[in-house]
Amino acid sequence: MTTAPVDVESARRDYAALVDRGLSLDITRGKPSPRQLDLADGLLALPGDVRKAEDGTDVRNYGGLKGLPELRRIFAGPLQVPAEQLLAAGNSSLELMHDSIVQAFLSKLPGAERRWADEPSVKFLCPVPGYDRHFALAERFGIELIQVPLTETGPDMDVVERLVAEDAAVKGIWCVPKYSNPTGVTYSDDTVRRLATMTTAAPDFRIFWDNAYAVHHLTEDEARLADLLALATEAGNADRVFVFGSTSKVTYAGGGVGFFGASEANLAWWTGLIGKRTIGPDKVNQLRHALFLRDEDGVREHMRKHAELIGPKFAAVDEILTKELGESGLASWTKPTGGYFISLTVPSGTAKEVVRLAKEAGIALTPAGATHPYGDDPDDAVIRIAPTYPELAEVEEAIRGLAVCVRLAAATKK
Ligand code: PMP
């Protein structure tokens, strides 16, 4: 990035004026706005008088560990997992990722020589910038986290292929393959193919394929993702894929349904273990979701309404950053066509200071470093912007203020 010098005095004046406004704005977390949640309020009247799933199961009773077939069918296409290999579970995909890791530590995965608990060390590759909760979850179990650059086409596959081939302690990789959190990139066909076919030293290597934004398009130009599970299966590596997804940002965040998809062997492993944890999921909620969303087209139609609400917020971020910082060369940012986030890159060594200045001015941002394992962004340059929750006017105000902070941090950089 070539940067024009910033006039310190004018940057200080602008910042003082910003602080004087006494703002209280929050663009920290990727939450749906209340108006987005309203879109799914039809759920509250469902399942109405219906008590039975299509196969005659009384949804009010125990059982059905794999979840309702009609809901699994709706999400089989979007999540690229055959319905019979896709489980509909509880209210969150993060808990399914958590449980997969816990179970891998406690019980041998298909193909494993031993439990992860009995390994001298367990390492995961973390494409960065990435999702802080993935990193925190793995860190909590003592997994060593290794950064891999995330490019425009997905993780740098030369690095990934080398690391998985040379070190049998590398047991997993975190991937948000479509409209990634936070850059918005979608993995290219070549990246997906290489992930599916690469040689791994660990026989129990797993790709944690968190397709959280599978249907979250912002434009008509929908990103297309290659089918990892199909490609891995074709290459004889079916067991390396764990697919996750949820309706958290389709219907209700926290009141939706999480999904887990994998090979037959992985599913047998999973259901055998998870059957000790629960007698079955909340099928009433699953039925109301199936009735509300109807089919894949129903999901697409519903997601268009989300795009109408949040598309203008993403556009506003881009417009304001272009106007305020475009010519300065002080920052670059992603222009996602889906998902929930924008990634802003500021001059090296200033991201923490930008976040601090913004906080003092009443604008809450995700902590700098959160996009990297251990909170350590070696360049101190990446800031995640989450524009969905606040009203449009608040997003605009927050981004104008953020630009002021970027200029001051750059001007006063030691
Ligand atoms: N994965 C990613 C990439 C996310 O961004 C989020 C939410 N911010 C989640 C998972 C959480 O999903 P859930 O609500 O299904 O646990």
> pLDDT (tens digit, 9 = 90+) per residue, 314-334?
999 999 999 999 988 999 999
CATH of the domain at 154: 3.40.640.10
> pLDDT (tens digit, 9 = 90+) per residue, 354-369?
999 999 999 999 999 9
* Residue of the CA atom closest to atom 5 of ligand 1: 181
**Angle value at C-alpha 179, between 176 and 182, nearest 5 degrees:** 75
Residue 269 belongs to some domain of the structure: yes
In angstroms, what CA-CA distances link 188 with 38, 152, 176?
34, 8, 12
Ligand 1 atom, smallest distance to 176 CA: 3
Same domain? For 310 and 290 the reply is: no
Ligand 1 atom, smallest distance to 258 CA: 15
Q: How far is the CA of 408 from the centre of ligand 1 (A)?
A: 33
Residue 238 belongs to some domain of the structure: yes
Same domain? For 256 and 144 the reply is: yes
> pLDDT (tens digit, 9 = 90+) per residue, 16-62?
999 999 999 999 989 999 999 999 999 999 999 999 999 999 999 99
225, 260, 294 - which closes a domain: 294
* Residue of the CA atom closest to atom 11 of ligand 1: 94
The total number of structural domains in the chain stands at 2
294, 313, 340 - which closes a domain: 294
Same domain? For 371 and 270 the reply is: no
Same domain? For 327 and 406 the reply is: yes
Residue 285 belongs to some domain of the structure: yes
Residue 41 belongs to some domain of the structure: no
Q: How far is the CA of 94 from the centre of ligand 1 (A)?
A: 6
Ligand 1 mutation pick, 28, 131, 209, 211, max ligand atoms within 8 A of CB: 131
Residue 149 belongs to some domain of the structure: yes
Helices (H), 185-295: 189-197, 228-234, 264-274, 283-293
- Model pLDDT, residue 2: 55
* ipTM of predicted assembly, 2 dp: 0.99
Task: Tell me how far apart the alpha carbons of residues 164 and 194 are, in angstroms, rounded to a whole number.
Answer: 12
Same domain? For 79 and 148 the reply is: yes
pLDDT tier, 3 (very low <50, low <70, confident <90, very high otherwise): low
Residue 38 belongs to some domain of the structure: no
Residue 6 has pLDDT above 90, yes or no: no
Q: How far is the CA of 134 from the centre of ligand 1 (A)?
A: 9
Q: How far is the CA of 350 from the centre of ligand 1 (A)?
A: 28
294, 326, 350 - which closes a domain: 294
Same domain? For 120 and 187 the reply is: yes
The tokens for 127 are 């494409």
pLDDT tier, 1 (very low <50, low <70, confident <90, very high otherwise): low
Same domain? For 242 and 382 the reply is: no
Contact 6, 331 (CB under 8 A): no
Residue 45 belongs to some domain of the structure: no
Same domain? For 284 and 138 the reply is: yes
Same domain? For 163 and 181 the reply is: yes
Residue 137 has pLDDT above 70, yes or no: yes
Residue 129 has pLDDT above 60, yes or no: yes
Same domain? For 289 and 323 the reply is: no
Ligand 1 atom, smallest distance to 93 CA: 15
Q: How far is the CA of 215 from the centre of ligand 1 (A)?
A: 13
pLDDT tier, 5 (very low <50, low <70, confident <90, very high otherwise): confident
Residue 39 belongs to some domain of the structure: no
Question: What residues are in contact with ligand 1 under a 6 Å CB criterion?
Answer: 30, 92-94, 131, 176, 181, 210, 212, 246, 248, 253, 258
Task: Tell me how far apart the alpha carbons of residues 23 and 37 are, in angstroms, rounded to a whole number.
Answer: 25
- Model pLDDT, residue 39: 98
Q: How far is the CA of 49 from the centre of ligand 1 (A)?
A: 32
Average pLDDT, the chain: 97
> pLDDT (tens digit, 9 = 90+) per residue, 329-343?
999 999 999 999 999
Ligand 1 mutation pick, 210, 343, 385, max ligand atoms within 8 A of CB: 210
> pLDDT (tens digit, 9 = 90+) per residue, 390-402?
999 999 999 999 9
> pLDDT (tens digit, 9 = 90+) per residue, 227-261?
999 999 999 999 999 999 999 999 999 999 999 99
Same domain? For 284 and 305 the reply is: no
- Model pLDDT, residue 4: 63
- Model pLDDT, residue 115: 98
CATH of the domain at 354: 3.90.1150.10
Q: How far is the CA of 244 from the centre of ligand 1 (A)?
A: 9
Same domain? For 133 and 174 the reply is: yes
- Model pLDDT, residue 414: 78
Domain that holds residue 364: 8-30+300-411
